[in-house]
Structure 1
């Protein structure tokens, strides 16, 4: 029978052949095809709001043979995999190009003259019947209030060779009673009962409602579309479960190669994440509640009870078609049910989408319904931004600092946050807690005091296999990586709690990730990159370092390896450290935007001589080597294998005439004007390095020639006579002889000294006048005692934390060439630093004014200039839109 005749015959029963998601057709149908309308959120298609399983993307990373080779004509391997995972026999199962092909095969196998279907229900049943010249007769559901249920007595009385039942029903969302379905099949043994469970796996009642676990009678066929639950509409895959006889006949009728290669290859990947269905059900329940709480206050939508991933609603005050048209004008697509038999023109269907999309829908509905607030308030900045990078040292810390200062300059109350940091370069907060130095710098960019909540978890490596774990500023234990990951859930909760506290106090949190967000071996346990962004509901920005080369490959690889649900959080890309004409990148940017779907927000230039501390010791590589002739003063820092707090000396980099360099090779020490042994995370091991590498011998040789030698913290301990570790704080070695240049002995203890300190110099310090003020902080796990009672104390600490005190500190040798102290940041104090530079210049017989007058710009000015570079090269209006509430 001709299709047009069939449509005319079933005019009242055939639903419009326009389906959900077909925006172009719907625009034309609603007379909007000439309008410039972009759909930004689609509530008309009932796909899993979690998205597809991440494993599916493996198909597209190396798709060559799947594109060029023929797939198995009968999808035999895919069917074996599907049967194995579902606990079924292969002889009872057949796959198809979505559930639609399965329905068509059933009709071809059964050859009914008439088919019944519950109404309202899925339009496809009637459409396929019409294509096969089969009369499709709707049997109205029983209604009670807003609930719909199949009329089983009417179905039993019906005279048809085939009956369609959808459970959970589309579009009403309610399941049919399994017992009643089986009774219907038993009562009508000559009628084939087709049960469509395409939406069953979204239901919390699935286990008690599905027929999948039942032994089916020979006249009952169960159909499932995997398209919906696994969100693979583009792949197309469905299956039927029934008697071997009917399945065999369907297999005979199916055309070869109907299931494409990608869909076949996807089958085993669908089941790799055994927790996917459970997470889907929980997320569906969560979104269902959020949807109802969002639309009920509008007073114009009456939702029907739903057990799956969509909600049928009755609209008051306007037709479903009119509401669909108005929402499309606002970028929202919904499903109008006005042409579905059994429903009137007031019904719409809303798929469950993520909360941010439901918020868009709610605002659009408010606009359509004309609900106006008496005093509409302007949008305000509120939320979080996450900065992640394609690699370590891509520029995350600097980018985060730039964002902090940019928004601080706009009057926004902003704070930095990094859930977990691994660094030996730490800082003591005013409350006496330890955090990563980068977050202290970012706090400075925000013009606020640093706090332990800004970096709640800090890992300080103690060798190749273990780290000291610092939580909320305090060292709690030392553990290896395996033990750490076993305890990561509890640690994660502490990090989330710290974020929550910050979020209550500040309008904006600028978060920084760690390493790369695409470390696939660590994704499950992640709470510092995209999982943290997900928890904070933050928009993420990916920073890519072009200076290393391969920037587009690193962007594509990073984006591709991030699981799809987390990838949605990536809102933009910043290409960092570019040298040259940015126009050369245009074609590459256009391509990377096309294949990732993520806009490039800007290209940051390579910024030279940036006076902001590096996150870790990777930055020391640029300062390695020997002295350069152009420098007036040469300061050499011993690059210990376990160096910590190397930023103690970066204040010297403000002076172009001073070369600050780091070296671990004795021959490269040269003839510096000052040598500094910095802090160490493992003093005994690093003292052993000095000895075995020949560095100790070279230090003593240069000291004998008159080169000053300073030691800070661990370096101070090494200048003493011995270091004892009876409790194994640092490891197995219990004792190490020091350089014996200062009359002290150090005992390592588990308890740390953590405090900000301030004080003055006293007579005996050759490079500073008595009474010179200083500030700094102490982080050390040890106490040093003097072996000589008349030893000189060059420093007097007058305040520890918030407590006034009078403590002698530090040591200096009789000739004034060897100096040591526990105080980090000592040379950040301008008066002390200036006098030290003058002393070094005097020893070298050069004019100190020549060195000091060339001091570079202040840190405050540096932050402002950095924010200016950001605003000039990055679309800050777009970034600001991510956090407007």
Structure 2
């Protein structure tokens, strides 16, 4: 490990990361006391809007900034000093005020002494009593002033103190300042914003009190450098005269004005820091041989009370784990037993505690029992996208299979899924189809915990809400937004339960994380990534165009804490020579600071189920006929189509031309028509009539040459009537196509069953699942049962000719032998020779392995593993 130089201030990221052997972004920095909430949400947009102004000189007098500060603290603008950080004002103080003697209660910020010494000022250390919690004894300080002379003297005090975090009573300081009116009292309120309800000396101070105020800590902009001072107007003018012109740049001035107005961010910070500090203090105090001094700001001072460990050694061991703390022996009055830690976000605080437990446990083997270590958060990686249909589901499935191939016990997770493609688990729970595929990639049985919240749109403004596999009702958008906190709580419970059983988790996001109208109540993208402490891979589909603008734009719209979670970009669906993208990749990384994990090429004929109807409706099933594809099967596209994955197995048959039909003019005379599932059967039945598709299907049935098959909702439409007495969809009763003598009534109880069945006409075994609200019964001239569940329950009926039939069984064509019998029957009816053998096995296993091989070769998997914490 490389030695560091004598710059002892915390936050020297470059040197710390070099010593740790990691990238700067990988270092968890507890050495600098910066707001754990990070930059305010408005920061990036404000900086962008002010960039053009950099072509002009900034206001040398910082007029708007000093006026904003004056209004914030209730003082005159002439009493405000602006500087390039409060440290610049501190260093201008001594020469400006002709100070000859300085008293510094210690321990305290080391630059008080350094600023004085650079001006030739004698510095006297007034040692604070550790046993009294480092509180300032103002009576003793008064005696010190009387004994040494108070003229041309300055006393430097932190409020609260750095590094102890202790505050003093402002009224005691005011009384002392009035008593010693010829003495300067410099009060550093750099961390005062973190202390709720503190009586601020910046607002009310005697004439011989000068207050320093840093905006860099509280607003998380130490790299921007911005500080203020408050003093009597003549004093402020004298100090300002010692500061170079244009010291505060234009960006810093703009940020300062906006920050001083942001009361909402300030309130959130105070509340968050207090909770985080209390939790961190309790966890630190539980470590044997460690004393934690109670603090009021965003940091804590600690003392090691052991003979086998000192702060320098501890810092070295933590740095090996890429964690930096502040060793405090450079503070007057402290030795190598002391260190300071900033209050960071909860997951980083937990990481620190876990690392400290390991160090303390190793060090205490000879002195006592080894400390029981906290369980580490399960490593996690999340795939998000710049847009919907960017390939998130497929990439997540690929990563699941890659991790499995590499020997990891991996599981998928998506907190909330909006999809009409669902699946029924072994125990009767309903979940999104994409997570079922990902579960298979992990060779796990599908589990509703993998997709605890499922939304199935039933109209343009509402969805059926399914929690942990069971429907709880239909909700419109605003109603669901109000319910979201409860949904998120259930999702987090599901994640914790699932993650506890596996070595690594692969999460999937939804849509885009940069949807500014949705971010406030997000439960599936960055909020879930933060909860899982997951590194985020952001994927963009280059085939859509504008992918690099999408990467940059997405990052620009993310909050700083969200940006910090994005560890890499993935260009998806690329066709051609990837080296042609090198310049674009470099420019994008330079603009965002995020590296590319790889470029995934366009993958054809994956043979994997699609998550939603986007691909279906964009024509992914449409194929040009060919000499080999001699069986023509038309799929009617209804507005509320669901579970169109029932068609995936047919899509792979080499002699089948599967096409999506949206208009009567495109229907023609196919060998078969399939009416797929529907989430709103009533509305889709109206659609068939209004577009003329219903009559066209009746005409085909009359001609007797086309086989018409209905699955689930499509099966219900083949009947005579569909009634909705409870208004689950649209209410009322309407006529179906009347091709089968059946009546369907929609019921509130939802059937969710994994099923095995038999097709009675061929005797072939079937397997799949049922998801439906309806109960369908035969009428009058009873139709013939064509699909029978293994328990004897009818699952499908057909007419006398066998050309019109339907079933509630999803996955009807997944069984290879039955599917081939069905296709061969269509060949035979059209005068073609049946093939008589299975020519395509519907096998997701081989498809998943092919996918994993393709993605593995496209991504830098070593970097991806690091992103996940493995």
Which residues of 2 match residues 685-764 of structure 1 at below 5 A?
685-705=683-703, 706-731=705-730, 734-762=732-760
Distance in 1 of aligned mates of 2:800 and 2:257: 76
Partner of 2:778: 786
Does structure 2 retain, via aligned residues, the 8 Å contact 1:42–1:334?
yes
Assess, with a 3 A threshold, how the Cα gap between structure 1 residues 337 and 376 changes in structure 2: closer, same or farther: closer
Assess, with a 3 A threshold, how the Cα gap between structure 1 residues 330 and 789 changes in structure 2: closer, same or farther: closer
Partner of 1:12: none
| TM-score for the superposition, normalised by structure 2 | 0.89
Distance in 2 of aligned mates of 1:318 and 1:677: 73
Distance in 1 of aligned mates of 2:76 and 2:686: 67
Displacement of 1:217: 2.9
Partner of 1:149: 135
Counterpart of 2:109 (choices 90, 109, 122) is 122
**Deviation digits for residues 167-208 of structure 1 (CA, Å, limit 9, x no counterpart):** 2211222222333222212322333322112122334xx32x
**Deviation digits for residues 542-561 of structure 1 (CA, Å, limit 9, x no counterpart):** 22222223222222222332
Instruction: Tell whether 2:598 aligns with 1:602.
Output: yes
Partner of 1:59: 46
Assess, with a 3 A threshold, how the Cα gap between structure 1 residues 220 and 738 changes in structure 2: closer, same or farther: same
Partner of 2:552: 556
Distance in 2 of aligned mates of 1:344 and 1:753: 70
Instruction: Please give the secondary structure, in 1, of the residue aligned with 2:543.
Output: coil
Partner of 1:502: 498
Distance in 2 of aligned mates of 1:333 and 1:408: 34
Which residues of 2 match residues 578-727 of structure 1 at below 5 A?
578-620=574-616, 621-623=618-620, 625=622, 628-630=625-627, 631-705=629-703, 706-727=705-726
Range that drifts further, 527-536 or 479-488: 479-488
Does structure 2 retain, via aligned residues, the 8 Å contact 1:405–1:864?
yes
Does structure 2 retain, via aligned residues, the 8 Å contact 1:543–1:575?
yes
Partner of 2:853: 868
Distance in 1 of aligned mates of 2:7 and 2:390: 51
Instruction: Tell whether 2:352 aligns with 1:358.
Output: yes
Distance in 2 of aligned mates of 1:825 and 1:875: 36
Which residues of 2 match residues 146-225 of structure 1 at below 5 A?
147-157=133-143, 158=145, 159-160=149-150, 161-203=153-195, 206-207=196-197, 209-211=198-200, 215-225=204-214
Range that drifts further, 113-122 or 84-93: 84-93
Instruction: Tell whether 2:843 aligns with 1:858.
Output: yes
**Deviation digits for residues 558-617 of structure 1 (CA, Å, limit 9, x no counterpart):** 233222123222223322222222222233333333433333222222111000011111
Instruction: Please give the secondary structure, in 2, of the residue aligned with 1:458.
Output: strand
| TM-score for the superposition, normalised by structure 1 | 0.88
Range that drifts further, 272-281 or 689-698: 272-281
Instruction: Please give the secondary structure, in 1, of the residue aligned with 2:217.
Output: helix
Partner of 1:826: 812
Partner of 1:10: none
Distance in 2 of aligned mates of 1:647 and 1:236: 57
Which residues of 2 match residues 200-279 of structure 1 at below 5 A?
200-203=192-195, 206-207=196-197, 209-211=198-200, 215-243=204-232, 246-247=235-236, 250=239, 255-270=244-259, 271-272=261-262, 274-279=264-269
Partner of 1:136: 123
Instruction: Please give the secondary structure, in 2, of the residue aligned with 1:475.
Output: strand
Assess, with a 3 A threshold, how the Cα gap between structure 1 residues 294 and 545 changes in structure 2: closer, same or farther: farther
Which residues of 2 match residues 259-658 of structure 1 at below 5 A?
259-270=248-259, 271-272=261-262, 274-279=264-269, 281-283=271-273, 285-286=275-276, 289-290=279-280, 293=283, 297=287, 299=289, 302-314=291-303, 316=307, 333-344=324-335, 346-353=337-344, 354-355=348-349, 358=352, 362=356, 382-620=378-616, 621-623=618-620, 625=622, 628-630=625-627, 631-658=629-656
**Deviation digits for residues 93-116 of structure 1 (CA, Å, limit 9, x no counterpart):** 443221123334554654433332
Displacement of 1:250: 4.9
Range that drifts further, 38-47 or 390-399: 38-47
Instruction: Please give the secondary structure, in 1, of the residue aligned with 2:776.
Output: strand
Partner of 1:4: none
Displacement of 1:532: 0.6
Distance in 1 of aligned mates of 2:124 and 2:164: 19
Distance in 2 of aligned mates of 1:660 and 1:785: 31
**Deviation digits for residues 521-546 of structure 1 (CA, Å, limit 9, x no counterpart):** 21121111111111112222222222
Distance in 1 of aligned mates of 2:798 and 2:14: 81
Distance in 2 of aligned mates of 1:282 and 1:499: 24
Instruction: Tell whether 2:828 aligns with 1:842.
Output: yes
Partner of 1:765: none
Does structure 2 retain, via aligned residues, the 8 Å contact 1:294–1:358?
no
Assess, with a 3 A threshold, how the Cα gap between structure 1 residues 788 and 91 changes in structure 2: closer, same or farther: farther
Range that drifts further, 216-225 or 650-659: 216-225
Assess, with a 3 A threshold, how the Cα gap between structure 1 residues 264 and 360 changes in structure 2: closer, same or farther: farther
Distance in 2 of aligned mates of 1:87 and 1:626: 73
Assess, with a 3 A threshold, how the Cα gap between structure 1 residues 293 and 708 changes in structure 2: closer, same or farther: same
Does structure 2 retain, via aligned residues, the 8 Å contact 1:120–1:172?
yes
Instruction: Please give the secondary structure, in 2, of the residue aligned with 1:641.
Output: coil
Does structure 1 retain, via aligned residues, the 8 Å contact 2:280–2:343?
no
Distance in 2 of aligned mates of 1:613 and 1:412: 24
Distance in 2 of aligned mates of 1:637 and 1:414: 36
Partner of 1:21: 11
Instruction: Please give the secondary structure, in 2, of the residue aligned with 1:441.
Output: helix
Displacement of 1:262: 1.0
Displacement of 1:509: 2.3
Instruction: Tell whether 2:772 aligns with 1:773.
Output: no
Displacement of 1:19: 3.0
Does structure 2 retain, via aligned residues, the 8 Å contact 1:381–1:884?
no
What value does the CA root-mean-square deviation take over the aligned residues? 3.4
Assess, with a 3 A threshold, how the Cα gap between structure 1 residues 663 and 342 changes in structure 2: closer, same or farther: same
Unaligned runs of 5+ in 2: none
Assess, with a 3 A threshold, how the Cα gap between structure 1 residues 115 and 605 changes in structure 2: closer, same or farther: same
Instruction: Please give the secondary structure, in 2, of the residue aligned with 1:227.
Output: coil
**Deviation digits for residues 345-384 of structure 1 (CA, Å, limit 9, x no counterpart):** 554433344236626863895699697999999x999432
Unaligned runs of 5+ in 1: 1-14, 763-767, 799-804
Displacement of 1:246: 4.3
Range that drifts further, 213-222 or 163-172: 213-222
Displacement of 1:84: 4.4
Assess, with a 3 A threshold, how the Cα gap between structure 1 residues 348 and 778 changes in structure 2: closer, same or farther: closer
Does structure 2 retain, via aligned residues, the 8 Å contact 1:626–1:669?
no
Range that drifts further, 866-875 or 710-719: 866-875
Assess, with a 3 A threshold, how the Cα gap between structure 1 residues 729 and 323 changes in structure 2: closer, same or farther: closer
Distance in 2 of aligned mates of 1:792 and 1:627: 36
Distance in 2 of aligned mates of 1:775 and 1:318: 64
Instruction: Tell whether 2:808 aligns with 1:808.
Output: no
Assess, with a 3 A threshold, how the Cα gap between structure 1 residues 469 and 821 changes in structure 2: closer, same or farther: same
Does structure 2 retain, via aligned residues, the 8 Å contact 1:514–1:529?
yes
Q: Report the number of matched residues.
A: 846
**Deviation digits for residues 301-323 of structure 1 (CA, Å, limit 9, x no counterpart):** 65444333333344555776676
Partner of 2:66: 79
Does structure 1 retain, via aligned residues, the 8 Å contact 2:712–2:808?
yes
Assess, with a 3 A threshold, how the Cα gap between structure 1 residues 225 and 812 changes in structure 2: closer, same or farther: same
Distance in 1 of aligned mates of 2:840 and 2:733: 43
Partner of 1:6: none
Assess, with a 3 A threshold, how the Cα gap between structure 1 residues 680 and 325 changes in structure 2: closer, same or farther: closer
